[in-house]
Structure 1
Amino acid sequence: MNTEAVLFDLDGTLVDSLPLIVRTYRHVFKEMDIPWGNDDVVKMIGLPLKDIGRRFVGEAAPAFEERYQYYYHRDHDLYTRLFPGTLEMLESLKSQGIRLGIVTSKGKPGTTRTAAFTRLDAYMDVMITAHDVARHKPDPEPILTALATLHAQAERTIFIGDSSYDILTGKNAGCLTLGVAWGLDSRTELEKLSPDGILASWEELQEYL
């Protein structure tokens, strides 16, 4: 394929942060007396926080976001870990001259903190967050913004994510789109959207470059 760039979703793809995210939502729901439905919440992970807040509390979304940010940052370092082999995979891609980026629906403060804490920021040429675009996943704008920054072509770029939103975003942007088998959505759910492949480990990525 002669790959120019590889773009990654963050949570559930590079970073094992689902326990942190669910724990944070539980705190917020309890404080704001919102009935907890685990499936309802998990299905919305991957959307911008402000959209999730509007879904559950309407006009009180700013208070929802404020509480979320407090608990998220308080517990971040205790519950944030890279998936095994992630830094080694990024090192390999860099050694091949491939440009790298993160495209996430997480806000800029959370993305910056996670990238610094896990050392992902040392490998990334671009990081596009919810604060950098007007339209969010599954709209292609986040990926297209990253491609413009990297001066890379969509048809020579791979986008990798763990959720249905990610698969749709990559396909909408015209990238070769891969799912991962260790994230939010199951392999069965991802396969329904016909990605170009689903990785069972980072070692399999080399086959698509």
Structure 2
Amino acid sequence: MNKARLPIHLVQFDLDGTLIDSLPQLWQAINIMRSQLGFSEVSAQTVQLWIGNGADILVQRALADAQQTPPKASLIKEGRVLFADAYQSVAHQEIRLFPGVIETLNALKAAGLTLALVTNKPFRFVPDILAATQLVPFFSHALGGDSLAQKKPDPAPLLHTCQALNILPSHSIMVGDSENDVLAAKAAGMQVAGLTYGYNYGKSIATSQPDWVLDDIRGLIELVKNPHPLNKN
């Protein structure tokens, strides 16, 4: 049977760039870190191009841009600590959900699907963000980027979630906005929908060849009811 025809029982979501627009908070935290290290501030548009591989890589990119050379390990370590402290201070300020998120999650839950969250964001930030956005009741399981030894694009977090919820990967779909989400899903043997509006280092999510490309997260509502190959972008 074609995997795209298999019924979907579990929907795993990325967080940043998929459910929430976290760019304002990440932009603030990066500029706080850069200022504390004596570097100039950068625009939100610049920071957006650095998002997608987790906080460690975000900090490395911000420091490499500041110096125009690969940063030393000692500077990366210092910057990572400063960034974490800065992000902690702004992470819950005016968090915005992308359009259609609540409508989509409500519809999927009402249809009897199990929902999970798999993000590369350090887990210590996740509970408060979910509480601030009133997303807690939707998810049966949540993993952060440091919950396991591996993070996306490694398939381990997705497979761990399937195992924890006793649902086969072939009956799961990953929903995200970056190449990491697509690579992780493909390696895990599950279906994947790529959203066009998030953070993917300035590249089109279509270049990663997810099973479906969606401009609006509400497209998931019909997709999971009828995951037919003809719906593929």
* TM-score, normalising length: structure 2: 0.80
Are 2:176 and 1:161 equivalent residues in the alignment?
A: yes
CA distance in 1, matches of 2:202, 2:37: 34
CA distance in 2, matches of 1:51, 1:158: 26
Equivalent pairs, count: 209
Q: Residue type of the partner of 2:182? A: I
Q: Secondary structure at the match of 2:79?
A: helix
Displacement of 1:36 in angstroms is: 6.3
Larger helix fraction of residues: 1
Q: 1:187 to 1:72 in 2, by over 3 A?
A: closer
CA distance in 1, matches of 2:8, 2:135: 20
Does the CA contact (< 8 Å) of 1:53 and 1:62 recur in 2? no
CA RMSD across the alignment: 2.3
Greater CA deviation, 3-12 or 186-195? 186-195
Q: Secondary structure at the match of 2:208?
A: coil
In structure 2, stretches of 5+ residues that fail to align are 1-5, 64-70, 225-233
Equivalent residue for 1:116, pick from 131, 141, 155: 131
Are 2:36 and 1:31 equivalent residues in the alignment?
A: yes
Does the CA contact (< 8 Å) of 1:106 and 1:129 recur in 2? yes
Sequence identity (%) = 28
Q: Secondary structure at the match of 1:71?
A: helix
Give the structure 2 partner of residue 8 of structure 1. Answer: 13
Displacement of 1:203 in angstroms is: 2.4
Q: Secondary structure at the match of 1:6?
A: strand
Does the CA contact (< 8 Å) of 1:7 and 1:102 recur in 2? yes
Displacement of 1:168 in angstroms is: 1.3
Greater CA deviation, 78-87 or 117-126? 78-87
Equivalent residue for 2:25, pick from 13, 20, 27: 20
Q: 1:85 to 1:138 in 2, by over 3 A?
A: same
Q: Bigger radius of gyration, 1 or 2?
A: 2
Question: Counterparts of 1:137-156 in structure 2 under 5 Å?
Answer: 137-156=152-171
Are 2:96 and 1:90 equivalent residues in the alignment?
A: no
Does the CA contact (< 8 Å) of 2:122 and 2:144 recur in 1? yes
Does the CA contact (< 8 Å) of 2:49 and 2:202 recur in 1? no
Does the CA contact (< 8 Å) of 1:50 and 1:62 recur in 2? no
Greater CA deviation, 96-105 or 17-26? 17-26
